[in-house]
Amino acid sequence: MALGAVRPFSLSYTTGTEWLERSDQLIRFVSKYVVNLFPVGPTWLPTPTNKSGLRHALSVANVYVSLDPASTIDNSCLSDPTSRKGHFQDAVSCPKMTKDKENQGDIIGLSYSTVLQCKYGLRIDIYFYGDCEEVFLSHVYSQLHHYVSMTCDDVRVGVLLHFPITIDSKNMEERLEGDLGQRFDGDCYSVTRVVQYRSEFPQARL
């Protein structure tokens, strides 16, 4: 199965905390991309990369996880969220347990998002950890579907995407432009790589 067909599942606070108690798999995955701290929320709150920090992220953010299809017991819920003429489909909310919970390769993508009410609409911050562009796209669409499904049609939405520089930002901008529109260039948001803000997190490697 192509990675582009791997659809993330929604990770609730209850399911996520249970996962953290039985395994350090989530911590090990996030630790591949950050050191000590990772940002959460629209204020980029530095959060420790441990059980406490991940529990906090689960409590304040909308979290999705993608698992390697080769390491899952049941792949019946995996599908492409953009296959319907490029539009959003319903997000999958049934987590798949892996055969080997200690296999670091089982998780291939993790994202979390928060929303902030602004003067002119909503600002949505989506943070993604992973290396595959197709998995990243599936997380973006799944995250946005969550907000689109409960937001009025006339509300303006600004989306800030934060992801590792191993993913080609220019390519992602071109692929997302059809659904999300062009990148906004302003006084505050004129860069496409989150790593340019690294100086605000001296202990973090984004």
Q: What's the pLDDT tens digit per position in 106-158? A: 899 999 999 888 777 888 899 999 999 999 999 999 998 888 777 766 777 77
Greater confidence (88 vs 14) lies with: 14
Q: Tell me, what DSSP letter sits at residue 71? A: G
- pLDDT of 121 reads 80
For 15-50, what is each residue's pLDDT tens digit? Answer: 999 999 999 999 999 999 998 899 998 788 899 999
d(CA 102, CA 113): 26
- pLDDT of 92 reads 41
- Please enumerate in sequence order all residues whose Cβ is within 8 A of that of 18, keeping only pairs 6 or more positions apart, or say none: none
- pLDDT of 95 reads 44
Asked if residue 201 has pLDDT above 60, the reply is: no
Enumerate domains of the chain plus CATH numbers.
3-200 (3.40.630)
- pLDDT of 7 reads 79
Q: Among residues of the chain, what percentage have pLDDT more than 70? A: 66
- pLDDT of 6 reads 64
Contact 137, 98 (CB under 8 A): no
Asked if residue 86 has pLDDT above 80, the reply is: no
Average per-residue pLDDT for the chain: 74
Please tell me the pTM assigned to this model. Answer: 0.72
149 CB burial (10 A radius; 0-12, 13-18, 19+):
exposed
- pLDDT of 62 reads 95
Q: Among residues of the chain, what percentage have pLDDT more than 90? A: 38
Helix (H, G, I), strand (E, B) or coil at 188: coil
d(CA 80, CA 138): 7
Asked if residue 197 has pLDDT above 90, the reply is: no
Greater confidence (196 vs 188) lies with: 188
Q: Tell me, what DSSP letter sits at residue 96? A: -
d(CA 158, CA 135): 21
